[in-house]
A and B are shown apart, each in its own frame.
Chain A
Amino acid sequence: MPAGDEVMCAVGLKKSYDGRLVLDVERLGVRRGEVLAVLGPSGAGKTTLLRLLATLEEPSAGEVRFGDLVWAGRLSPADLLHWRRRLSFVPQNPVLFTGTVRFNVEMALALRGRDGPAASDEVEALLDRVGLLPLAGARAGSLSTGEAQRVCLARALVTRPDVLLFDEPTASLDPANVAIIEETLREAVRCWRPAVVIVTHNLFQARRVADRAALLVAGKLVEVGETGHLFDRPSDPRTAAFVRGEMVY
């Protein structure tokens, strides 16, 4: 089980592709009600880490712990389903199913066997929160990227997951959409205290939303700490260089 109030943690987690080690994390946990930003240059292994946490990839070594469950590459179908139903994943590029905006958000509840007026109210409340209630009946394919990403956020939050994983959720969005997504995320954390891991290139965003930040370079954790501390008093020269906007390898 994860230590203390940690909801999920990676222990000795390694991932290789064709013999090339792309991720080697000794230990990294995320606590309930905490937003953990994972920073790093392109190719640092950030997305691989998220995919491992979501059980989309099998670890080459080590494990991910989530409650009583351990992901080391093998879980029973029931446990795998239980794991995935307790988390939500918001990808960099929104993926919406054919149908209306409402259908896409309701789907997350319907797949869990939840429908009816109560579910419908939850969907409407979230669509309202992300400013999409007027577009509830619109075709998902007619949305802008920003609107589609807000639908993905609503869909991720409607199940009130224990863990939220974000992979560069605002990378291609305008400031107005970024503000809506960040504020909705903060509200969710205040409301039911999920553990949040957000992968981002945006240092300003990390400072705005994250309680803690971790720097990943070439698959290894360089430094993990309180966001303010990591940005203002980094203990590793590579962290100092990264937060100054310099290239690190």
Chain B
Amino acid sequence: MSRKGGPWLSAVSSWSELGGIILLSLAVSGTAVLLASAVGVPLGSLLGLSRFRGRPLVVRATYTLMGLPPTVAGLAVYMLLRAPGPLGGLGLIFTPAAMVIAQWVLVTPIIIGLVAAAVEDKDRRFRETAVLLGATPWQARLLVLREARPAVFAAVVAGLGRAMAEVGAVMLVGGNIRWQTRVMTTAILLETRRGNFGDALVLGGVLLVIGFLLNSAIHRFQTGEG
């Protein structure tokens, strides 16, 4: 592998390849988190605001899924998407779409669980105040959700962190194919397996810098602070 004019990493031959890997990482994780938020924020809000029979079981199941091992999630998605699998006909296995699905499976329970906990915490304090101010049940729920906004945002950020750092599931369903499904974490794994620990550390540093820049941008958007 030539390092001439490249970023001095054995698994990455050029700056454009490194850029492609970074962009694919952001695209896969960003899409997975957006989709997970679209499902997780409403479901988490509903779980946090509702009192129904069997709720403790649902909460416990959600908390269990928050700790779902990535390889298990990856394996389940792999079984679904592989050629003889139920969704094998879609031809998604070893594509970025499969990686998005695997990360979505991992991130959605995290967002549901964190949003539910945040909303429930605010619910105790603010719902009573809202109804005593003359709010209808729906107005009260909206006011509780309004108070939980920063924590909901934090839940989405936590989901993004989990997605960006994830390796097992995307490895299984993406296959770490060069120029196609190689992302930062799978590139790090490849370098480590080759014994190029220095290169793996450099990629890890790049991943951390990207994470820091992303979180800084999100924090700035959320608070208006620099």
**Residues of A bordering B, CB below 8 Å:** 54, 56, 77, 81, 84-85, 87-89, 91, 95, 97-98, 107-108, 111-112, 155, 159
Q: Is B137 an interface residue (CB 8 A)?
A: yes
Q: Contacting B146 at CB < 8 Å: which of A87, A97, A111, A155?
A: A97
> Can you name the residue of chain A whose Cβ is closest to the Cβ of B125?
A95
A81-B136, A91-B129, A108-B133 given; 11 more Cβ-contact pairs under 8 Å = A56-B132, A84-B131, A84-B134, A85-B134, A95-B125, A98-B146, A98-B147, A111-B134, A112-B134, A155-B133, A159-B134
Interface string of B133-168 (1 = CB under 8 A from A): 111110100010011010000000000000000000
Chain B residues with CB under 8 Å of A91's CB are 129
Q: Is B121 an interface residue (CB 8 A)?
A: no
CB distance from B143 to the nearest CB of A (A): 7
Q: Could you tell me the dominant secondary structure of chain B's interface residues?
A: helix
Q: Contacting A97 at CB < 8 Å: which of B126, B128, B134?
A: B126
> Can you name the residue of chain A whose Cβ is closest to the Cβ of B129?
A95
> Can you name the residue of chain B whose Cβ is closest to the Cβ of A81?
B136
Chain A residues with CB under 8 Å of B130's CB are 111
Chain A residues with CB under 8 Å of B129's CB are 91, 95, 97
B134–A95 contact, CB under 8 A? no
**Alpha-carbon gap, A98 to B134, bound state (A):** 18
Interface size on B, residues (CB 8 A): 17
> Can you name the residue of chain A whose Cβ is closest to the Cβ of B134?
A85
Tally of A-B residue pairs with Cβ under 8 A? 38
Which 4 interchain pairs have the tightest Cβ spacing?
A85-B134, A95-B129, A89-B132, A111-B134
B125–A97 contact, CB under 8 A? no
**Residues of B bordering A, CB below 8 Å:** 125-126, 128-137, 139, 143, 146-147, 149
11 A-B pairs within 8 Å (CB atoms) are namely A56-B128, A77-B136, A81-B134, A85-B134, A89-B132, A97-B146, A98-B146, A107-B133, A108-B133, A111-B133, A159-B134
B143–A97 contact, CB under 8 A? yes
Given contacts A98-B146, A98-B147, contact A88 B139 (CB under 8 A): no
Chain A residues with CB under 8 Å of B139's CB are 111
Chain A residues with CB under 8 Å of B131's CB are 84
**Alpha-carbon gap, A224 to B147, bound state (A):** 41
> Can you name the residue of chain B whose Cβ is closest to the Cβ of A86?
B134
Interface centre among A87, A108, A111, A112 (most CB of B within 10 A): A111
**Alpha-carbon gap, A77 to B131, bound state (A):** 12
**Alpha-carbon gap, A77 to B136, bound state (A):** 9
Chain B residues with CB under 8 Å of A112's CB are 134
A108–B125 contact, CB under 8 A? no
> Can you name the residue of chain B whose Cβ is closest to the Cβ of A152?
B129
CB distance from B70 to the nearest CB of A (A): 36
Chain A residues with CB under 8 Å of B147's CB are 97-98
CB distance from B147 to the nearest CB of A (A): 6
**Alpha-carbon gap, A89 to B128, bound state (A):** 10
**Alpha-carbon gap, A85 to B139, bound state (A):** 13
CB distance from B102 to the nearest CB of A (A): 36
Chain A residues with CB under 8 Å of B143's CB are 97
> Can you name the residue of chain A whose Cβ is closest to the Cβ of B149?
A98
**Alpha-carbon gap, A85 to B147, bound state (A):** 22
Given contacts A95-B126, A97-B126, contact A84 B132 (CB under 8 A): yes
CB distance from B154 to the nearest CB of A (A): 15
> Can you name the residue of chain B whose Cβ is closest to the Cβ of A56?
B128
Chain B residues with CB under 8 Å of A88's CB are 132
> Can you name the residue of chain A whose Cβ is closest to the Cβ of B150?
A98
**Alpha-carbon gap, A112 to B137, bound state (A):** 13
**Alpha-carbon gap, A111 to B125, bound state (A):** 18
Chain B residues with CB under 8 Å of A87's CB are 132
> Can you name the residue of chain A whose Cβ is closest to the Cβ of B132?
A89
CB distance from B71 to the nearest CB of A (A): 41
CB distance from A165 to the nearest CB of B (A): 9
Chain A residues with CB under 8 Å of B125's CB are 95
**Alpha-carbon gap, A110 to B128, bound state (A):** 17
A111–B135 contact, CB under 8 A? yes
